[in-house]
Structures are given as C-alpha cells and as structure tokens.
Amino acid sequence: MAITLTKEAINRPGFDIDEENKLVFEGCRLEDLASNYGTPNYVFSENIIREKCREHIKAFDKCNIDYEVLYAGKAFLVQAMAHILNEEGMSLDASSGGEIYMALEGGFPAERIYFHGNNKSKEEIYFALEKNIGTIIIDNLCELELVEQIASILNKRANIMVRIIPGVDANTHEKIRTGQVDSKFGIPIQDFLNFFPAIIAKKHLIYQGIHCHIGSQLLNMQFYHLAAREMIEMIKSIEENYKVKTNILNLGGGLGVRYTQEDVPLSISEYVIQLVDRVKEICHEKQLAVPKILVEPGRAIIAEAGITLYTIGAIKEIKGLKKYLIVDGGMADNPRPSLYDARYEALIVNKFAMKPSETVTVAGRYCESGDVLIENISLPRAECGDLMVFFTTGAYHYAMSSNYNGFPRPPVILANNGKHGLMVQGETYQYLNQNHVIPDWLQQNRNKYNGNNSK
C-alpha cells in the first residue's frame, strides 16, 4: 500500500521528495545516481560537509578562546575533500604519509597539517619534515628519538605535541576505545612526567602541548570532562615541576552521530560549548591560563554527509528462520558491521513510500558468513533489481574499503543542489592488476607451461 511522504518523514539531512514523489539527495534523484554511476556507489553532500565545518567554527568563535578545528582525515579523505576543508578554514589531522600527500595534492596548506600515528616510518617522517607540515604528534619515546634524529639530519626544527593516555575508559565499543589504560596509542599519563625531561631536551623539537583521544561515537560529555581534567592537571604538573608552559591542549575527537533512531547525539554547538566551559572551569580552579584548544572531528563532519546505494540481487528465504536480501556490495565497501557490530538504517528507494511488510536481513556478496550489513530490518516486499540506500555512511566506509574477492572499489560522488560529479572514479579490473608483476623466473617458464598441460 503506497503512502505519500513528506520531507520531514524521511528526517535525514540532505534528503527530500520531488514533485513526482521520488526520493532525492541534495537535489539529485537516487535512481538517476544509480543509473549514471552504477552500484554500489558512495554519494556525499557538499552542503552538509560545509555546514558541519561551519558549525564547529561558529561554536568556537562564540567561546572567545584561541582554538583550531582539525578534521580527522582517517574518516574520509580525497583531494576534493581536502579542497573543501581548506576553503572552510579547517586544519587537518593526518595519520599517514599517504594522507599528507593526498591533502597536499588537493591544495591543502602544509602548515595546517598535524601528523598522527603510533608507528610512523622513517620515510613518512622524512616526507613530513621535507614538506614542512605544521606539527608532529609524538606517540612514544622511540618515535621521539627518531623524529629528533631525522630533523637533525635535515637541519630543521619541528613543532611537536605529545600524545598521552589519560586513563579514561569511554563507554563505547571496545574496538574504538583509545583512552583506556591498556591502549596502543600514546604515553601512559602516570609515566609522562618522568619522560618529560627527554622531550624538552631535544634540540630540533619544539614542545607545543599535549594530546589525547578517548574513543569514537561518544554520545555524552562525561568522558570528555574526565579527560579534560586529567590533561589540565598534567599541564599544571608540568608547569610546577619543570617551569614549562604548555601552549596547546588537543582533546581529540569522537563526537557521535545518528546511525539509527536509538542514537541521540549532542549537537556540535552543545559539544563545543560544554567542552570549552569545562576547560575554562578547571583552568580557573588550577590557576592556569586557558591554553589553545584543539579538537579533531572526523565522523561528526563527514558521517551524515554520506550515503551508499546498492542494488538487490539474490533473495533467499530459509523457511521458518530468515529471509536474506543480498546486495551488490557488503563488507569490502562497508566493513564496520563485521568489525564492531555497527548498525544502520536503510530504505528501498523505489518503494520508500510503501509500508513495511516483512522483516529481513541485508547481506553482502562477499565470501564470508559474517558479511551482513543489517540484521532484522522491516521493509516493503523486495524484488531483484530494487535499489537500496543506506544512511550515514560517510565515515570509515570508503576510507576502510578493500578489494576483497577481487572486487573493484565503488566510485565516490559529490552532490550539490542538483549537480553531481565524481570525486573518485570507480575502479576497474585493469586497475586492480596495474601493480601486479611476475618474477623473472616465472615469466621465463610461462611459455614452457602454456599449452603443455592438456594431452
């Protein structure tokens, strides 16, 4: 039974319903995007990306403090994204030499790049210093020595911040917690003061501040408040013990977004104002000047700006147990459900105005039993060839995608008020093989074996 829906009934940013009751995203019909680019494909809203950047900056501007908003490139980074971020006045948290290269190729200024990572290679550090990136986030003492050594060879001085494990165990999935005592990231807070003399003794490194990150998809402020207190108390201890001023406090990212109706995230404005107020309160209590505050939103900017389109292929019903809708993508273009039980909402695009009539499981096409995207979703009765849209797929989808089973990765599309164009071309079979080589001794025997195996 068909019903007429309104824009409000969809209740997702960027979505609307046109005059022919067709579902559109950023003014582009989803059916047309599927027809033009094939499926699966990723689609991003330029307007939502820019709005999320501006919400962060506007909120900080109201707080009357020194600040910097660093987009976490690991969530999603391509050259077009780097271009947009630069236009919006954002800085960048890059976690590899490849992300730095991509950003620079997209015209992003090197001085606004912060280089993260818990095991940076010599090659990456050389590259970052040669390109004069703004700041290196030191993760451990081995890295401290390595960066000093390379900076000395290059006769350069590098701004550094140091990552600390604050000992805050955030209430999120265990695989996206990063601030607990047992973490591969950073220096434990209880050890940091003992290591601090080694940090400030480096001739080629300029100590700027400290950094922490407690986890991802956080839906309340209590863990940020705990981390802020631990970090500001460390700033006070540094000043008392070593008479060194800490100019910058980086409190990381992790603000949650809406994947399903059960998720009720804070607004960006609420998050920023509460965070800054807490920092000011603790600094006043400790008789400290408020340092420059850095945050690293990734998911909060890009997640809801992205959607993914799939086509339903096989439909398989196991009597009395389950009905599967199998789409033309899955864990290689969205590994999050397999990695940490991520949950999603979705619609059948060409039947979005029909009432749900069955409960099904949406599975992928990859050769793994765990390749399931959504368990137990209520949808109208599906048919082969129906088009599906998954919401909130901007973060950690394309960035974590793979060529598992030899499938090319999907195209990445940017949409804006009825316009659409490629940010990344879809891969081809030829692309998958472009770096393959056959060692000489195998190549020499190739002709010998061709044609000789059938008798």
Contact 7, 17 (CB under 8 A): yes
Q: Of 262, 281, 297, which residue sits at a domain end?
A: 297
Q: How far apart are CA 210 and CA 130, in angstroms?
A: 24
The string of pLDDT tens digits covering residues 182-192 is 567 789 999 99
DSSP 408: P
Instruction: State both tokens at 314.
Output: 């096989």
Contact 306, 26 (CB under 8 A): no
Same domain (yes/no): 312, 422: yes
Q: How far apart are CA 56 and CA 75, in angstroms?
A: 17
Q: Is residue 239 part of a domain?
A: yes
What is the model's pLDDT at position 50? 98
Instruction: For residue 328, give its domain range.
Output: 7-45+304-432
Q: Of 273, 297, 321, which residue sits at a domain end?
A: 297
Contact 310, 325 (CB under 8 A): no
Instruction: State both tokens at 122.
Output: 């010599």
pLDDT category, 179, cuts 50, 70, 90?
very low
Same domain (yes/no): 261, 148: yes
Asked about 63 being catalytic, the answer comes back as no
Same domain (yes/no): 225, 205: yes
Let me know the angle formed at the C-alpha of 59 by 215 and 287, rounded to the nearest 5 degrees: 75
Percent of the chain with pLDDT over 90: 86
Q: Of 297, 321, 347, which residue sits at a domain end?
A: 297
What is the model's pLDDT at position 445? 78
Q: How far apart are CA 103 and CA 82, in angstroms?
A: 5
Distance of CA 36 to the CA centre of its chain: 27
Q: Is residue 320 part of a domain?
A: yes
The string of pLDDT tens digits covering residues 287-299 is 999 999 999 999 9
Q: Is the pLDDT of residue 193 over 90?
A: yes
Instruction: State both tokens at 367.
Output: 């050769």
Q: How far apart are CA 2 and CA 48, in angstroms?
A: 30
Same domain (yes/no): 272, 332: no
Q: Is residue 69 part of a domain?
A: no
- Could you tell me which of 320, 316, 323 has the C-alpha nearest to residue 358? 323
Contact 151, 128 (CB under 8 A): no
The string of pLDDT tens digits covering residues 374-421 is 999 999 999 999 999 999 999 999 999 999 999 999 999 999 999 999
pLDDT category, 168, cuts 50, 70, 90?
confident
Q: Is residue 28 part of a domain?
A: yes
Strand 306-318 vs strand 248-250: parallel, antiparallel, or unpaired?
unpaired
Say if residue 415 is exposed, middle or buried (CB neighbours under 10 Å; 0-12, 13-18, 19+).
buried
Q: Is residue 324 part of a domain?
A: yes
Whole-angstrom distance between the N-terminal and C-terminal Cα of the chain? Answer: 63
Beta bridge partners of 15: 25
> Phi/psi class of residue 273: alpha, beta or left (left: φ > 0; alpha: ψ in -120 to 50)?
alpha
Instruction: State both tokens at 424.
Output: 């990344």
Distance of CA 78 to the CA centre of its chain: 12
Q: Is residue 398 part of a domain?
A: yes
**Higher-confidence position of 216 and 331:** 331
Alpha-carbon dihedral sign for residues 423, 308, 406, 99: positive
Q: Is the pLDDT of residue 141 over 60?
A: yes
- Could you tell me which of 136, 58, 63 has the C-alpha nearest to residue 97? 136
The CATH number covering residue 389 comes to 2.40.37.10
Residue type at 400?
A: M
Q: Mean pLDDT over all residues of the chain?
A: 92
Same domain (yes/no): 137, 284: yes
3-class DSSP assignment, residue 323: strand
Same domain (yes/no): 251, 323: no
User: Cβ atoms within 10 A of the Cβ of 264, count?
Assistant: 9
Q: Taking residues 80-97, what's their average pLDDT?
A: 98
Same domain (yes/no): 126, 191: yes
Q: Taking every pair of C-alpha atoms in the chain, what is the biggest distance, in angstroms? A: 88
Contact 347, 388 (CB under 8 A): yes
The string of pLDDT tens digits covering residues 418-439 is 999 999 999 999 999 999 999 9
User: Using omega within 30 degrees of 0 as the cis cutoff, is the peptide bond preceding 40 cis?
Assistant: yes
**Matching residue, tokens 């900076």:** 151
Q: Is residue 64 part of a domain?
A: no
pLDDT category, 88, cuts 50, 70, 90?
very high
Q: What is the DSSP string of 279-314?
A: HHHHHHHTT-PPPEEEE--SHHHHGGGEEEEEEEEE
Same domain (yes/no): 286, 330: no
Count of domains forming the chain = 2
For residue 116, how many C-alpha atoms fall within 13 Å in the half-sphere facing its CB?
22
Same domain (yes/no): 147, 281: yes
Active-site residue among 53, 63, 367, 384?
A: 367
Q: How far apart are CA 425 and CA 99, in angstroms?
A: 18
Strand 187-188 vs strand 372-379: parallel, antiparallel, or unpaired?
unpaired
Same domain (yes/no): 197, 232: yes
The string of pLDDT tens digits covering residues 239-269 is 999 999 999 999 999 999 999 999 999 999 9
**For the ranges 102-116, 214-228, 230-244, which has the lowest average pLDDT?**
214-228
What is the model's pLDDT at position 170? 47
Percent of the chain with pLDDT over 70: 93
Same domain (yes/no): 288, 397: no
The CATH number covering residue 156 comes to 3.20.20.10
Query: What is the dihedral angle through the alpha carbons of 4, 7, 10, 12, rounded to the nearest 10 degrees?
Result: 170
Q: Is residue 375 part of a domain?
A: yes
Residue type at 41?
A: N
Same domain (yes/no): 369, 343: yes
Q: How far apart are CA 432 and CA 439, in angstroms?
A: 18
Alpha-carbon dihedral sign for residues 353, 355, 361, 367: negative
What is the model's pLDDT at position 11? 86
